[in-house]
Amino acid sequence: MPLVASWNFPTFLLILFTSLTYSFSSIFTITNNCHQTIWPGTLSGAGTPSLPTTGFRLEPGQSVKLTSVPGWSGRIWARTGCTFDATGIGKCQTGDCGGRLECDGNGAAPPTSLFEITLGEGNDQDYYDVSMVDGYNLPLLALPRGVYGGSACNATGCVTDINRGCPKELQVVGGDGYQGDTGVVGCKSACEAFGSDQYCCSGQFANPTICQPSYYSSVFKKACPRAYSYAFDDGTSTFTCKAYEYDIIFCPNSNRNNAKPNGALTPPTPSIGQPYGKFQRVSSSSNILLPFQSTFFLLVATVSAFLAKTWPLI
């Protein structure tokens, strides 16, 4: 006797659609709204794959979309004052990651403003923050978009130019021939500057009760109330959301007449012997997502046609 399906075809499609919806990858849209060229870097957490690129060049007014996988965790930051040869070897004034264009598993050298996130799987929430624990080099805004369920999510970041008010003992000064900079290009954390357990929340201070805000962490917190200012600054600095996309904007308050966030680029894939930072431009940012969306609807249509022939409606 043939088996009879106990649930009908429309129910199957609903389950299929729901499972695919909750397995969709999140998109990181990285935008350079600064007056200067930046070189974003990415670092994946343990057990999660690398993003499509771990380091690339981004000109003023340009943006790149990077696709992640459910459950991805890691960091995204911007390097400044970089020079690289045709093989991708070089160095940066701030945010350097092992002296290469592609960071390939190397983290950012402090001081660097960091976007950190752990994406939830299924219905689980995303956890994200902007951190100044490793110091600061550029203003940074993180903005969730396309939120699941329509619930509100908080933007976070550090949009103030801390370099202008950085205490002298924490300053990183340019003038080494990078991009012609001669001023303050980064602001160290007190941990990086002095190395003491008290500032680093290490040793006997590795406890949130004992390690309290310092004068120096307060400088960061006053300028950027929603960003991490020291290691145990969790209460006002960690946020949750469930979003399809995160906009990561460097220098969000920069008044640039030629800033065009919609000038999206395909993820860069430079090759040896060709100039780095030369990307293929697409006509609009939506073109990057189109192949994925088309694949999804083609899959649903194919499965629907097959099951309509083989499964009787009940």
Which of 299 and 125 is assigned the larger pLDDT?
Answer: 125
**Which of 63, 68, 69 is CA-nearest to residue 78?**
63
Residues 6 or more apart from 27 whose CB is under 8 A from it?
65, 66, 67, 68, 244, 245, 246, 289
Which of 311 and 218 is assigned the larger pLDDT?
Answer: 218
Mean pLDDT to the nearest integer, 42-63:
95
* pLDDT at residue 304 in the model: 45
- 62-66, 172-176, 177-181: segment of lowest average pLDDT: 177-181
Mean pLDDT to the nearest integer, 88-113:
96
Position 72 confidence tier, pLDDT thresholds 50, 70, 90: very high
Mean pLDDT to the nearest integer, 130-145:
96
Q: The pTM is what?
A: 0.75
Is the pLDDT reported for residue 229 higher than 80? yes
Is the pLDDT reported for residue 214 higher than 50? yes
Which of 41 and 46 is assigned the larger pLDDT?
Answer: 41
200-213: burial string, b at 16+ Cβ within 10 Å, e else: bbeeebeeeeebee
* pLDDT at residue 313 in the model: 43
* pLDDT at residue 289 in the model: 29
**Which of 24, 64, 63 is CA-nearest to residue 295?**
24
Written in H, E and C, the secondary structure of the chain is CCCCCCCCHHHHHHHHHHHHHCCCCCEEEEEECCCCCEEEEEEECCCCCCCCCCECCECCCCEEEEECCCCCEEEEEEEECCEECCCCEEECCECCCCCECCCCCCCCCCCCCEEEEECCCCCCCEEEEEECCCCECCCEEEEEEEEHHHCCCCCEEECCCHHHHCCHHHEEECCCCCCCCCCEEEECCHHHHHCCHHHHCCHHHCCCCCCCCCHHHHHHHHHCCCCECCCCCCCCCCEEECEEEEEEEECCCCCCCCCCCCCEECCCCCCCCCCCCCCCECCCCHHHHHHHHHHHHHHHHHHHHHHHHHCCCC
Position 54 confidence tier, pLDDT thresholds 50, 70, 90: very high
> What does pLDDT average to over the chain?
78
